[in-house]
């Protein structure tokens, strides 16, 4: 037995142990979180579960398989519509199926749709795939308006989740029960998607993403590999659609149009497509923007766009990439040395953020207001946009923040490099676990 | 038949240009066969035709008594022919270990399985470790392939090709761009890993060719002008003319 075999076996055991702990933590968080949440919070948490499953499914294509889809909401939406039909069927006494199983039905519907469409769209990756996905998305979105029988036209389709037979006394009437229903499916789907990514088909999806030509010369048909990923992704997108259908009891064309497809792409990308958990982080952040921030300001879409552009330009590995930048420092035991520089760096960053956002909000208020309504709430204050004091104050704050950043960024950078340095010394090779592309 | 590969009147045109102009060649089972020729003679094109990367315009390619002209590359691979590339062709974002493991997956019979975990596939992992040992990359197993040094990437290229355990190995300029020391190592590696297999190699380094090959074919302007033992090729008049008067010697 070679040395590497022993190392691999030891690493494998450690890995499995670590994974078991992670899964347990994940489950505990899902169980405990709603106990801390308000009713509104509970709705948001449920929404995060749906968005996370969908974003993870999307990333099976983009991150793992190198397929940029502009139309993945099609499978989410079709899964959702199918689920509504199932709920309606069960509700009118068609069959005694417990509705907690709805997502499986949505998933199978998404799977079949993905199999049909994927059979030709996965022939190529890259631009061809992206264009086909966009075309299909437009086609299905248009059909959703026209084909009233299945899609219900512009009003969409609605049903009632409480009409089915109860599942061991579980009827999904209060929101907390809906949350736990979503959380269980979130957990199951994440589990399945993770183990898919570790399977031969999942690993080969990475290989085909990197170099489809070479994959052909080690026995794999790249199209089939892409199709397997695509179908699996359609299945999980359909599951997400099924959870959504249960939560909202209505699915409309806005759930499968290109805007919905764009949103999931943003979520996956902002979270970080190179990491398995990336899309979940993106889904959490975007859902919060979508629900909490949208309640505070009409400009939330602007901030979403800025966040996306900022991610593409400054953190191409997404928010998860920013977190994972610190694994080396953590391994070196130097993470604590970063706290002080980060806190100092946070001051001008916050100042410039508050300053610029305030100016933008005030500008927007001045243009959108009804005449005479000059006072607006902003960061726990009431600001009068007609006077120049506030304008001057926030301009100074922004400038001070930006100037401050010029001084703190090099300091933060140096501190980060110092914290990571020890690893550049030739350590024993087994210690370099490196960035794993999981 | 004891031919591993048999080409009959093989032709390939790109538009008006005929690059491979009626090649006849028999490569015996278990021999190490080198294909040499001046730049632009069509050596790589010939490789692409045999391995399924290009489709022949006409003629036949037979692998172990089976016609493979026009067959897809992955099907040819499944029939027992693996090849490497002249320009390094690896999976840049995967680790060295995963690169080789991908090469071993199909041959170990795991196909498109999505219900198993690669960590638990003992046969694949042992095969991967065996290959890594052979290509001397064990200590680099966790490094992303894109970060390897050039010679290491070349070794990995060969490793991916070998991981599937194919009977017929085709290497396209495996030592291109290597230093003398690295070349020697590579030749030793190729010699040891192709023991008992059929090797077809395209190579510019005549030292490597005459050292390694049992037989040599000379390809000039899309035609094989001679196929013989190294000693006979060295003295062949036609071959010497083809190399524009420069003598084909072991140290050229």
Average pLDDT, chain A: 88
Is the pLDDT score of A363 beyond 90? no
- A242-268: pLDDT as tens digits: 999 999 999 999 999 999 999 999 999
pLDDT at position A437 is 37
Exposure string of A390-411, with b = 16+ CB inside 10 Å and e = fewer, is: bbeebeebbeebeebbeebeee
- B160 to A218: CB separation less than 8 angstroms, yes or no: yes
Q: What is the mean pLDDT of residues A209-232?
A: 95
Domains in chain A, number = 2
Domain identity same for A183 and A206? yes
Range(s) of the domain holding residue A350: 328-425
Whether A210 is covered by a domain: the verdict is yes
Q: Which of A275, A293, A315 is the last residue of a domain?
A: A315
* A3, A218, A436 ranked by CB distance to B102: nearest: A218
* The pLDDT of residue A426: 46
CB-based contact B112 A200, cutoff 8 Å: yes
Pair (A145, A230) in one structural domain: yes
Q: Are A129 and A173 found together in one domain?
A: yes
Whether A275 and A159 map to the same domain: the answer is: yes
Residue of B nearest to A229 (CA): B114
* B149 touches B182 (CB < 8 A): no
Interchain proximity A216–B143, CB inside 8 Å: no
User: In terms of domains, do A108 and A139 share one?
Assistant: yes
Chain A: nearest CA to B146, how far in angstroms?
11
Which residues in A have their CB inside 8 Å of a CB on B? Answer: 2-5, 8, 12, 15, 195-196, 198-204, 206-207, 209-211, 213-221, 224-225, 228, 232, 429, 432-437
Q: Is the dihedral of CA A321, A324, A328, A330 positive or negative?
A: positive
Question: For residue A2, what pLDDT band results from cuts at 50, 70 and 90?
Answer: low
Q: What is the pLDDT of residue A427?
A: 43
Q: Are residues A397 and A421 in the same domain?
A: yes
Q: How many angstroms separate the CA of residue A432 from the nearest CA in chain B?
A: 7
- Residues A433, B132: C-beta atoms closer than 8 Å: no
Mean pLDDT of A6-34: 92
Write the CATH number for A268: 1.10.3470
Output the pLDDT for position A436: 37
Q: What size, in residues, is chain A? A: 438
In a domain? residue A421: yes
Which residues of B are less than 8 Å from A220 in CB distance?
74, 105-106
A344, A408: one domain: yes
> How many Cα neighbours within 13 Å face the side chain of A77?
29
**Residue A371 banded pLDDT, cuts 50, 70, 90:** low
Measured between CA atoms, how close is A431 to chain B, in angstroms? 10
Q: Which residues of A touch B126 (CB under 8 A)?
A: 5
Of B95, B114, B121, the CB nearest to A196: B114
A132 and A214 belong to one structural domain: yes
**Same domain membership, residue A405 and residue A290:** no
Q: For A405, what's the count of Cα atoms within 13 Å in the CB-facing half-sphere?
A: 13
Closest-CA distance, A438 to chain B, in angstroms, reads 10
**pLDDT the model gives residue A271:** 94
Which pLDDT does position A80 carry in this prediction? Answer: 96
Q: Which tokens hold the place of A206?
A: 């990475």
Strands (E), chain B: 3-14, 17-28, 32-36, 58-63, 66-67, 81-83, 168-172, 198-202, 215-220, 223-228
Which of chain A's residues have a Cβ under 8 Å away from the Cβ of B103? 218
CB contact under 8 A, B93 and A210: yes
Residue A1 has pLDDT above 80, yes or no: no
Taking the CA atoms of A114, A239, A208 and B163 in sequence, report the sign of the dihedral they define: negative
Q: How far is B166 from chain A (nearest CA, A)?
A: 10
Give the gap in angstroms from C-alpha A344 to the nearest C-alpha of chain B. Answer: 35
Report whether pLDDT(A42) > 50.
Answer: yes
Q: What percent of chain A has pLDDT over 90?
A: 52
Residues A174 and A250 in one domain: yes
The last residue of a domain, from among A256, A283, A315: A315
Give the Cα-Cα-Cα angle A41, A45, A50 (nearest 5 degrees). Answer: 145
| Assigned domain for A406 exists | yes
Closest among A136, A165, A120 to A78, alpha carbons compared: A136
Parallel, antiparallel or unpaired: strands B58-63 and B3-14: antiparallel
Same domain for A396 and A252, yes or no, is no
Determine, for residues A200 and B125 on separate chains, whether the beta-carbon distance falls below 8 Å. no
Question: Would you state the pLDDT for residue A183?
Answer: 95
Task: Give buried/exposed letters for A118-148 (b at 16+ CB in 10 A, else e).
Answer: beebbebbeeebbebbbebbeebbeebeeee
Last residue of a domain, one of A261, A290, A315: A315
Answer yes or no: do A219 and B133 touch at CB < 8 A: no
- Selection from A210, A119, A177, A75 nearest residue B89 by Cα: A210
- Asked whether residue A147 falls in the same domain as residue A267, the answer is yes
**A384-437 confidence digits (pLDDT tens):** 777 788 888 888 888 988 888 888 888 888 888 888 876 554 444 433 333 333
Q: DSSP letters of B142-199? A: TSBGGGS-HHHHHHHHHHHHHHT--SEEEEESTTTT--HHHHHHHHHHHHHHTTTSEE
Indicate whether A328 pLDDT > 90.
no
pLDDT in tens, A296-326: 888 888 888 888 998 889 888 999 998 888 8
Sheet holding B66-67, edge to edge: B17-28, B3-14, B58-63, B66-67
- Residue B247: the pLDDT is 52
Is position A438 within any domain?
no
With respect to residue A4, please indicate whether it lies within any of the assigned structural domains: no
To which residue do tokens 């499916």 refer? A185
Residue A19 domain flag: no
Evaluate whether B55 touches B76 at the Cβ level (below 8 Å): no
∠ at Cα A334 (A328, A340), nearest 5°?
Answer: 120
| Cα–Cα–Cα angle for A331, A334, A338, rounded to 5 degrees | 125
Q: A389 versus A275: which is more confidently predicted?
A: A275
Predicted pLDDT of residue A27: 95
CB contact under 8 A, A5 and B125: yes
- For residue A339, being part of any structural domain is answered with yes
Spans in chain B with pLDDT lower than 70: 1, 244-252
First to last CA, chain A: 27
Average pLDDT of the segment spanning A27-37: 91
Domains of chain B: 1-77+202-252 (3.40.50.300)
Does A433 reside within a domain? Answer: no
């Amino acid at each position: 037995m070679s040395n590497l075999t022993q190392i691999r076996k030891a690493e494998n055991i450690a890995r499995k142990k670590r994974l078991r702990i992670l899964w347990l933590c994940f489950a505990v968080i899902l169980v405990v979180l709603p106990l801390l949440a308000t009713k509104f919070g509970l709705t948001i948490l449920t929404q995060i579960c749906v968005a996370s499953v969908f974003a993870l499914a999307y990333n099976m294509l983009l991150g793992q398989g190198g397929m940029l889809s502009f139309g993945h909401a099609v499978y989410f939406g079709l899964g959702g519509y199918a689920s509504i039909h199932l709920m309606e069927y069960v509700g009118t006494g068609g069959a005694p199926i417990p509705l907690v199983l709805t997502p499986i039905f949505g998933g199978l519907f998404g799977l079949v749709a993905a199999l049909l469409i994927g059979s030709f769209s996965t022939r190529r990756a890259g631009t061809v795939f992206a264009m086909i996905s966009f075309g299909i998305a437009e086609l299905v979105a248009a059909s959703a308006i026209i084909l009233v029988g299945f899609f219900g036209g512009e009003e969409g389709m609605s049903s009632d989740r409480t009409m089915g037979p109860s599942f061991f006394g579980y009827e999904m009437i209060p929101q907390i029960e809906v949350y736990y229903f979503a959380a269980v499916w979130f957990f199951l789907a994440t589990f399945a998607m993770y183990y898919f990514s570790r399977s031969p088909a999942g690993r080969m999806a990475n290989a085909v993403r990197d170099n489809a030509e070479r994959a052909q010369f080690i026995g794999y048909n790249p199209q089939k590999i892409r199709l397997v990923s695509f179908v699996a992704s359609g299945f999980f997108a359909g599951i997400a659609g099924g959870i959504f259908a249960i939560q909202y009891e209505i699915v409309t064309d806005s759930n499968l149009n290109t805007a919905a497809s764009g949103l999931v792409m943003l979520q996956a990308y902002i979270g970080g497509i190179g990491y398995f958990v990336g899309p979940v982080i993106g889904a959490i952040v975007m859902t919060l923007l979508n629900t909490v921030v949208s309640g505070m300001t009409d400009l939330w879409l602007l901030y979403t766009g800025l966040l996306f552009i900022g991610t593409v330009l400054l953190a191409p590995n997404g928010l998860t990439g920013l977190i994972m930048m610190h694994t080396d420092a953590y391994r070196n035991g130097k993470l604590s040395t970063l706290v002080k520089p980060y806190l100092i760096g946070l001051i001008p960053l916050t100042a410039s953020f508050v300053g610029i956002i305030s100016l933008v909000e005030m500008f927007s208020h001045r243009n959108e207001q009804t005449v005479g309504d000059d006072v607006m709430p902003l960061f726990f204050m009431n600001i009068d946009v007609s006077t120049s004091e506030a304008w001057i104050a926030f301009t100074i704050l922004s400038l001070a923040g930006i100037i401050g950043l010029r001084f703190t960024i090099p300091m933060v950078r140096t501190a980060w490099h110092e914290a990571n340095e020890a690893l550049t010394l030739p350590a024993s090779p087994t210690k370099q676990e490196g960035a794993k592309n999981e | 038949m004891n031919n591993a590969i048999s080409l009959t009147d093989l032709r390939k045109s790109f538009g008006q240009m005929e690059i491979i102009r009626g090649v006849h060649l028999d490569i015996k089972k278990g021999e190490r066969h080198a294909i040499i020729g001046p730049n632009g003679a069509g050596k790589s094109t010939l490789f692409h035709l045999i391995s399924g990367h290009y489709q022949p315009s006409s003629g036949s390619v037979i692998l172990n008594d089976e016609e493979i002209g026009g067959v897809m590359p992955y099907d040819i691979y499944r029939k027992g022919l693996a090849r490497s590339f002249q320009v390094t062709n690896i999976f840049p974002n995967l680790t060295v270990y995963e690169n080789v493991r991908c090469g071993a997956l199909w041959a170990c019979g795991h196909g498109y399985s999505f219900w198993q975990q690669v960590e638990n596939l003992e046969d694949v992992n042992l095969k991967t470790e065996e290959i890594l040992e052979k290509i001397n990359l064990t200590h680099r197993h966790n490094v992303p392939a894109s970060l390897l040094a050039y010679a290491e990437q070349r070794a990995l290229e060969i490793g991916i090709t070998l991981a599937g355990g194919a009977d017929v190995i085709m290497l396209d300029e495996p030592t291109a761009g290597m230093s003398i020391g690295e070349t020697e190592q590579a030749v030793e590696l190729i010699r040891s890993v192709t023991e008992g297999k059929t090797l077809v190699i395209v190579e510019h380094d005549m030292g490597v060719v005459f050292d390694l090959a049992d037989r040599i074919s000379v390809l000039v302007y899309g035609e094989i002008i001679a196929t013989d033992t190294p000693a006979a090729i060295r003295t062949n008049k036609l071959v010497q003319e083809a190399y524009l008067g420069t003598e084909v010697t072991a140290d050229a």
